[in-house]
Amino acid sequence: MAVVSVERLRKRYRRRDPWAVDGVTFELEPGQAFGLLGPNGSGKTSIVKMIAGLLRPDEGTVQLFGSDPGQPASRREMGFAPEDPDFPKFLRAGEVLDYFASLLGLDETDRKRRIPETLEFAGLDKERRHIRQFSKGMKQRLGIAQAILGRPKLLILDEPTADLDPLGRRDVRALIDRLKDSGVAILLNSHLLSEVELVCDTVAILAKGRVLKEGTMAEVVPEGRNLEDVFVELIQANTPQHDQLPSFITEQDKS
């Protein structure tokens, strides 16, 4: 059984708006790392939010472990690290993890073991401040920490390294590799193409909510080229480009 099955998915936020997601279909198998690529506004986050049960599709179906993601039980084995994560502002990192461990239904023994280890992995074990005093990078690390707390069989990472320093990025890459090896399916949304190339087996390139190209890394990136070249070429061919500089930038100083 596929971990995630998405079929002819469509979503728009207002009736007059264009489709944010338009007829997307793909499947994700256990142990597979799937990369969703696309420029800003291409519908990547909308897709993962529909898979996580946070948004309702207008058309098409999403199956998470064979069930509707709107059912809480179907999300039991899913970990989701959102883009720009945030948490209740007046809690501490350990309290956030304890809160989420309770929502995951972890018992006392599991909580006592997993929470300190997860905090240590995220580099937040000595942090005593409230979340409202956290930097974006610290929140991002906590976002990844809460996503892995329940030992998920599917880990969804939406721009997981956007606010991380190089060491944090390396840790996330190592985490993805380890989880993949243990059979966890990974769904990765990222602008960092080099990162996607390193960790994903399969990719889908999106623009304006549609899949432009999908396949294994070898199918999408021909021999002798890299993912960035393919991505730029595809996007430029499918979306209008605005690469002209504003005129005032190139104006000569009159004084």
Partner 1 sequence: MNGALAVARYTLLELSRRRILLVFFILGALGIVCLGVGLKILYSVASSQGSFSAPDVDPAAFNRFLELAFVNYVFSALGVFGLLIAFAIGMTAIYHDLESGAAVSIFAKPVSRFAFAAGKIGGAVTALVLIVGVLALETRFVMFLFGGGLEGSLTGEAAAVVANTMVVMLIVLALSTWMNNIVAAVVAFVYYNVITGVIAFVHSLADNGAINNNVVKTIFDVLYWLVPHELVSSAPGDLARAQIAMSPAQAGNSALAAIPQASGSGEIAWWAFVVVFFAGMVYYAIRRRQV
Of all residues in the chain, what percent are helix, strand and coil, respectively (each to 5)? 40, 20, 40
Which CB, 61 or 102, lies closer to partner 1? 102
The stretch among 54-62, 170-178, 180-188, 199-207 that binds partner 1 (CB under 8 A) is 54-62
The stretch among 17-25, 66-74, 178-186, 213-221 that binds partner 1 (CB under 8 A) is 66-74
- Under 8 Å CB-to-CB from 169, ≥6 apart: which residues? 161, 195
Which CB, 121 or 177, lies closer to partner 1? 121
CA 190 – CA 160 distance, rounded (Å)? 7
Q: Which of 26, 65, 87, 231 binds partner 1 (CB under 8 A)?
A: 87
Q: Looking at residues 123 to 162 of the shown chain, list those that interact with partner 1 (rule: CB under 8 A).
A: 130, 143, 146
- The reply on whether position 82 binds partner 1 by CB under 8 A is yes
- The reply on whether position 102 binds partner 1 by CB under 8 A is yes
Q: How many residues line the site for partner 1 (CB under 8 A)?
A: 32
Q: Which of 5, 42, 43, 75 binds partner 1 (CB under 8 A)?
A: 75
Burial profile 192-220: b = 16 or more Cβ within 10 angstroms, e = fewer = bbebbbebbebbbbbbbbbbbbbeebeeb
CA 188 – CA 204 distance, rounded (Å)? 10
Rg (CA), the chain: 20
- The reply on whether position 104 binds partner 1 by CB under 8 A is yes
Q: How far is CA 12 from CA 17, 156, 212, 227, 244, in A?
A: 6, 21, 19, 29, 30
Main-chain phi, psi angles of 100, to 5 degrees:
-70, -30
DSSP string covering 201-230? SEEEEEETTEEEEEEEHHHHS-TT--HHHH
**Helices 108-121 and 93-104: angle between axes, nearest 10 degrees:** 140
- The reply on whether position 73 binds partner 1 by CB under 8 A is yes
- The reply on whether position 52 binds partner 1 by CB under 8 A is yes
Q: Which of 1, 14, 105, 243 binds partner 1 (CB under 8 A)?
A: 105
For residue 76, the minimal CB distance to partner 1 (Å) is 4
- The reply on whether position 66 binds partner 1 by CB under 8 A is no
Which CB, 72 or 166, lies closer to partner 1? 72
For residue 197, the minimal CB distance to partner 1 (Å) is 27
Residues that bind partner 1 (CB under 8 A): 49, 52-56, 72-76, 78, 80, 82, 84-91, 95, 99-100, 102-105, 130, 143, 146
